[in-house]
Amino acid sequence: MKIEYEFKKQRELMVKALIREGVLKSKEVKRAFLTVPREEFVWPDMKSSAYYDTPLPLGATGQTISAPHMVAIMLEEMWLEEGMLVLEIGAGSGYSAALTAEIVNPTGFKDSGGQVVTIERVRSLIEFAKSNLEKTGYADRVKVVEGDGTLGYPEECEEEIYDRIVVTAAAPKTPIFLKKQLKRGGILLIPVGDLYIQRLMKLTKSEDGSFKSKHVCDCMFVPLIGCDGYQNS
């Protein structure tokens, strides 16, 4: 219980810091950050660093759990609402998916039907994310699937399915099937650039199917591997 209390205090301090920095703004995103225990989503030997505002390695997978400030920026830019269906490309440890689920289908409230589908290609991370989501109570609101995230879900489907799509890896361009699977009026958030630095882009799909884009900030993510992303070397 003492350890849980200490993590809760660290979580509260992290939220206060993110508010001061101006990246944490809406009450829904603030509540999600206060609710979801980040220490349960970092690699087991990194728990003492769970509330540092920095990316942390996920074992030897070559992947990371993003810095809290970047996760906050992305969640705020998605303008999430209860009841939404969200597609995430790059499950990682499941932390961002849990935060998203907490916003679209909050814990302790009437079930709004909000759901998150998150795609991961690294088998060990799929099992890690599933385990983390199960023990923190989000498994019923987050579906973790194995696959090529650049092809969407279901793969190569051209139907408009999702209210929001977020990509948590760096892409050379926006994958075509992600654009197709976004609903009219929906938002697609994706880091686009080279392997060293990217621009976080916010694409909004108009009623005529065209896209309006906004440069949110510069960022640095691990590469998006897939048929419509970077090729695995």
Q: What is the CATH number of domain 2-219?
A: 3.40.50.150
Neighbours of 223 (CB within 10 A): 19
- Looking at residue 232, what is its pLDDT? 76
Could you state, in order of their start, the residue ranges of all structural domains in the chain? 2-219
Three-state SS for 94?
coil
> Residue 194, exposed/middle/buried by CB under 10 A (0-12, 13-18, 19+)?
exposed
Please confirm, yes or no, whether 66 is among the known catalytic residues. yes
Q: State the sign of the Cα–Cα–Cα–Cα dihedral 142, 213, 177, 70.
A: negative
Helix or strand (DSSP H, E) at 122: none
DSSP for 7-35 reads HHHHHHHHHHHHHHTT---SHHHHHHHHH
User: Along the 233 residues of the chain, how does pLDDT read in single tens digits?
Assistant: 678 889 999 999 999 999 999 999 999 999 999 999 999 999 999 999 999 999 999 999 989 999 999 999 999 999 999 999 999 999 999 999 999 999 999 999 889 999 999 999 999 999 999 999 999 999 999 999 999 999 999 999 999 999 999 999 999 999 999 999 999 999 999 999 998 899 999 999 999 999 999 999 999 999 999 999 998 75
Buried b (16+ CB within 10 A) or exposed e, 30-60: bebbebbbbbbbbbeebbeebbeeebbebee
Q: Please state whether the predicted TM-score (pTM) of the whole model is above 0.75.
A: yes
Dist CA 198 CA 218 (whole Å):
6
Catalytic residue among 26, 48, 49, 66: 66
